[in-house]
Structure 1
Amino acid sequence: MIRIAFVGAGSVVFTRQLLHDILSFPELADCAIALHDIDPERLEVAVALAAQAAETLGANPTVTSSVDRREALAGADVVVNMVAVGGHDATVTDFTVPAAAGLRQTIGDTLGVGGIFRALRTFPLLEALAADMLEVCPQAWLLNYTNPMAMNIQYLAAVAPDLKVAGLCHSVYWTVRGLCEIVDVPHEEVDYLSAGVNHQAWILRWQHQGRDLYPALDAAIAADGELARRVRVDMYRRLGYYPTETSEHSSEYVPWYLKHGSEIDRLRIPVDDYVGISAENLAEYAALRAGLAADGALPETWDAEDAAEYAPQVIHSLATGTQRTIQVTTLNTGLITNLPMGAAVEVPATVDRLGIHPHHVGALPAQLAAANRHFLNVVELVVAAAVEGDPEHIRHAAMADPATAAVLTVDEIWSLCDAMVAAHGDALPASLRRTPVAAEGAKARRS
């Protein structure tokens, strides 16, 4: 019987979908599920969701819960991480402080100033989680959903190189599915290849029965002026390959759009979008909590059509040996030959009873690799800041960030980082809360 630990199970909207997806496999119907969260109230809701999923699907899992992480992890075969360190309040900070400095963001969880500080407050949790796993479940796979994905995976490789880790994200699946709807082709009949970095990968091949579907997409765009008014359609038309994350996300990873009010209007970019999404998640949790307190009932909103998350598929393959191909974020060991070795990249991978086996992709088209390298420069510097305890690297990362550097001067970037450090306070390691002085830092590096 496979044992699955959920870390951050209080992320109840996501937990509900994963539980249903897992228990919908007959071979996993009697699995052991250990739920962990530091918030007892959220954990109580997660337990109720697990009971509801089991009843709905006729499954009989063994479900336990604990606010003690090590207790939940003990003996796990798979650990699913979906912690959002700092929750909604930290997300609001990630938007309001940069906005006061004149910096626009849309999602703020992957790159940019928001992504940088989300990573820095998440890294201590990841390091502690990895240490616990290596002690109480050393052979377990850590399946990470927490953003910023590339930063988190690259950091884990630096501090826990023996841990088995894969980053999972549904963006490629939903991108391909959406593209197939545009050209009116069943998505289950298409073949595709995607690679790059998480939230900025690319659809390199996309075919239906051997027919390249990109010409059909070109025709659809030409026929629909509104379709062209999206960031990733604009990127596709200029770079030649479709990016795998939403326009809201994609606008933040390049210097071309958010700086210009005219581009925000032309491409309908929803500035500050994630603040509203985060608030909606809070409201949904509050409704679940209220319903549970009132009559012990929870609304049933799971839809089998949405059962597309990778973690349940990985778990099923590990348990049964069923072979399937998914997308994963993992270290670049020559998988993508024109991106840095050791960087966190997103590639196809085969999953079976023996684990997760990433595929060699080769070289990306030069223009795509160039965009990815800008992205990975920021990732490398954020990881270096944490590993080395160097607060200057936080500023270096923000200076290297394409969207930030397009808007702010270097003095403004350093001041913004000072303000973000102060705003997040004790959520950051003490070594990173020091305020560096550029001239003194340069003098020290030369000595």
Structure 2
Amino acid sequence: MSQKLKIAIIGAGSVGFTKKLCMDILCVPELQDIEIALTDVNQHNLDMVCQIIDRLVEVNKLPTRITSTIDRRKAFEGARYILNCVRVGGLEAFSTDIQIPLKYGVDQCVGDTICAGGIMYGQRTIPALLDFCQDIREVSEPGAKMLNYANPMAMNTWATIDHGKVDTIGLCHGVQNGWRQIANALGASHPTEVDFICTGINHQTWYIDIRFRGRRISCDELVAAFERHAEYSQQEKVRIDVLKRFGFYSTESNGHLSEYLPWYRKRPEEIRRWIDMSDWIHGETGGYLRYSTESRNWFETDFPQFLAEAGKLIDVSKRTDEHASHIIEALETGRTYRGHFNVKNRGLITNLPEDAIVESTGFVDRFGLNMVAGLTLSDACAATCLASINVQRMSVKAAVTGDVEMLKLAMLHDPLVGAICSPDEVWQMVDEMLVTQSQWLPQYTHAIPAAKDRLARSRLKTRAWSGAARRDIRSVDEVRSNTAQKKEAGLGRRPGA
């Protein structure tokens, strides 16, 4: 393999995740004598993560070259792989994805896939991604691949393939997390005792075939396993209810799944019935926003500790199952890797649209990504996926064209928003979100004055509501104390969204 291999990571200021991705890459001997170029718009975060990765390379005496720059074109120059981890607008924009919909009764746990927050997140992210794609086409290695980790996964991947004209694979870890959970519920001594086929769309992927020690697991057996599990029976009420009704288990956490459907978060009393407050991911109002804010504060305070931890030898046995390093390894060495990837459908799932982005089973080797074709979802699973796909398609069109009416129609057809809001409320909510987030929405610059005018003349009432299950953001000391208590009790935070 050429020593000129270069991997660029954009959004590298996402410090913890960037460290994980880099450590995974450096676990592969053939991926050590390369360049990893880190880029971010936040120079402060970029400097911190660069110190950490430099320390890893130094301590492990690796030939890896680590570079960092806020000039993304420089980072992309000659890159064969571009890992995208950006959050356009950061926590400032994210907070409005949660707060403004609450005024109209829309209570989200995460808000980054569909629903009001996910749709607007896509409007902010897609213009930036198309700029990235132009740079990639112009300065990266010919045929460069983008490995996209940024949400909303399906919308972003759809836009970069169709409009950015860059070979893109969307990557998520929901399938792996659900697999470990199923193995735990079934009493496996290790997750590898469970084999499965998973297919659907990102965050609504379904385990359509589960084998435990070679024996196929029925829906009834899986329901019984989850209902007798002390933690999962309380934490995953939405997923268990959907499993009972649909016959298939969903990849996504209780909080995530609850906001993609029109049934579980439409009334405050229903929200409280279906969620669990033991951790944010089980359905807490604005839970991921709180978690993300606390994590940022924690890192800022404890950076010296993170840097010290980077001074340890890399333990190859602790390489994670995040897909990126395994895909690159397979493409560069020919060692086959099986995973679940977000790509264009094109016949992979027979009863979903050809143009949709699906998340399904595939294999990677030196010949590229080879997906399993001809899978079919149950009618119920397909119907749920179709509702989201239609929202995604309209959202991508709106993001690319700056069409306000298309954006409002996408929001109107969102399952949870449509279950709660009237058309007039949807139209006003979109106007309010456009105006509030205008600094990150260049494609809507022409529409902001009219939106402001409509808001000034509106007589629709909204309410000051913090949601059905909101918690305050904790201080660094409170987070540290809570983490220590969990460790003493033998409890760990389950991997997130």
Change (3 A) 1:237 1:57: farther
Partner SS state of residue 341, structure 1? coil
Quote the residue 1:153 is aligned against. 157
Look up the equivalent residue of 2:403 and give its one-letter code: D
Which residue of structure 1 lines up, in the alignment, with residue 213 of structure 2?
A: 209
Asked whether the 8 Å contact 1:291–1:298 carries over to 2, the reply is: yes
Q: Deviations over 1:109-166 (max 9, x none)?
A: 00111001100010111001101111112311100000000010111122123x2100
**1:89 shift after superposition:** 0.7
- The superposition leaves residues 394-418 of structure 1 with CA deviations (integer Å, 9 ceiling, x where unpaired) of 1101110000000111111111001
TM-score (structure 1 length as normaliser):
0.92
- What is the aligned partner in structure 1 of residue 264 from structure 2? 257
CA distance in 2, matches of 1:311, 1:243: 23
Q: Which of residues 288, 299, 303 in structure 2 aligns to 1:274?
A: 288
**Alignment partner of 1:125 out of 118, 123, 128:** 128
Q: 1:64 to 1:299 in 2, by over 3 A?
A: closer
How many angstroms apart in 1 are the aligned matches of 2:6 and 2:336?
A: 20
Aligned twin of 1:443 = none
CA deviation digits over 1:367-405, x for unaligned, max 9? 100000001011011011123331101110111000000
The alpha carbon displacement at 1:222 in A equals 4.1
Check 1:30–1:225 CA distance in 2 against 1; reply closer, same or farther (3 A cut): closer
Answer yes or no: is the 8 Å Cα contact 1:9–1:43 preserved in 2: yes
1:58: how far off?
4.4
Task: Name the CA shift for 1:158/1:432 in 2 (closer, same or farther; >3 Å).
Answer: farther
Per the TM alignment, residue 57 of structure 1 is displaced from its structure 2 partner at its CA by 4.3
Report the Cα distance in structure 2 between the residues aligned to 1:306 and 1:316, rounded to whole angstroms.
13
Q: Secondary structure at the match of 1:342?
A: coil
Q: Could you tell me which residue of structure 1 aligns to residue 223 of structure 2?
A: 218
Map of 2:44 onto structure 1:
41
| One of 348, 364, 367 as aligned partner of 1:354 | 367
Paired residues for 1:381-392 under 5 Å: 381-392=394-405
Q: Which residue of 1 aligns with 2:356?
A: 343
Which residue is equivalent to 1:170? 173
Which is worse superposed, 261-270 or 74-83? 261-270
- Partner residue, 1:200: 204
Alignment pair present for 1:227 and 2:232: yes
1:257 aligned counterpart, secondary structure: coil
Match for residue 398 of structure 1 among 399, 411, 414? 411
Instruction: Name the structure 2 match of 1:51.
Output: 54
Q: Which runs of 5+ in 2 are unaligned?
A: 276-282, 452-497
CA–CA distance in structure 2, aligned partners of residues 403 and 108 of structure 1: 11
| Distance change (3 Å), C-alpha of 1:421 and 1:318 | same
Deviation by residue 1:82-108 (Cα, 9 ceiling, x = unmatched): 000111111111111111222100000
Q: Is the 8 A contact 2:127 2:443 kept in 1?
A: no
Give the Cα–Cα distance (whole angstroms) in 2 for the partners of residues 84 and 222 of structure 1.
Answer: 36
Change (3 A) 1:344 1:433: farther
Shift of 1:245: 1.0
Say which SS state the counterpart of residue 383 (structure 2) adopts: helix
Residues 23 and 53 in structure 1, CA contact (< 8 A), matched pair in contact too: no
Task: Say whether the 8 Å CA contact 1:108–1:115 is kept in structure 2.
Answer: yes
8 A contact 2:223–2:240 mirrored in 1: no
> Aligned letter for 2:415?
P
Looking at structure 1, the residues matched to 308 and 207 of structure 2 have their Cα atoms a distance apart, in angstroms, of: 43
Residues 41-90 of structure 1, C-alpha deviation per residue, up to 9 Å, x if partnerless? 11111211212322454433111111111111111111100000111111
Deviations 1:155-191 (A, max 9, x none): 1122123x21000001101100111011112211322
> Contact conserved, 2:199 with 2:206, CA < 8 A, in 1?
yes
**Local SS of the residue matching 2:79:** coil
1:90 maps to which residue?
93
Higher alpha-carbon deviation: 316-325 or 208-217: 208-217
Separation in structure 1 between the aligned mates of residue 122 and residue 376 of structure 2, nearest angstrom:
28
Measured in 2, the distance between the counterparts of 1:235 and 1:300 equals 45
Secondary structure of the structure 2 residue equivalent to 1:251: helix
Which secondary structure state, in structure 2, belongs to the residue aligned with residue 232 of structure 1? Answer: helix
Q: 1:3 aligns with which of 3, 6, 23?
A: 6
Deviates more, 1:350-359 or 1:322-331: 350-359
Structure 2 CA distance for partners of 1:291 and 1:412, relative to 1, 3 Å = same
Cα offset for 1:263? 2.7
* Residues 109 and 300 of structure 1: CA distance in aligned 2, closer, same or farther (over 3 Å): farther
Higher deviation after alignment, 247-256 or 381-390: 381-390
Q: Identify the residue that residue 469 of structure 2 maps to in structure 1.
A: none
| Aligned partner of 2:255 among 228, 245, 248 | 248
User: Which position in structure 2 is the counterpart of 1:419?
Assistant: 432
Change (3 A) 1:351 1:56: farther
Residue 218 of structure 1 deviates from its aligned partner by 2.5
User: Does the Cα contact within 8 Å between 2:122 and 2:399 map onto a contact in 1?
Assistant: no
Does the C-alpha gap of structure 1 residues 191 and 413 become closer, same or farther in structure 2, counting only changes over 3 Å? Answer: same
Whole-angstrom distance in 2 between the partners of 1:224 and 1:76: 47
Following TM superposition, by how much is the alpha carbon of 1:216 offset from its aligned partner in structure 2, in angstroms?
Answer: 3.8
Q: What is the aligned counterpart of 2:337 among 312, 324, 327?
A: 324
Q: Name which of 78, 81, 94 aligns with 1:78.
A: 81
- Provide the rounded CA distance (Å) in 2 between the counterparts of 1:25 and 1:284: 30
* C-alpha distance in 2 between matches for 1:300 and 1:176: 32
Match of 2:298 among 277, 284, 287: 284
Counterpart AA for 2:341? V
Q: SS state of the match for residue 146, structure 2?
A: strand
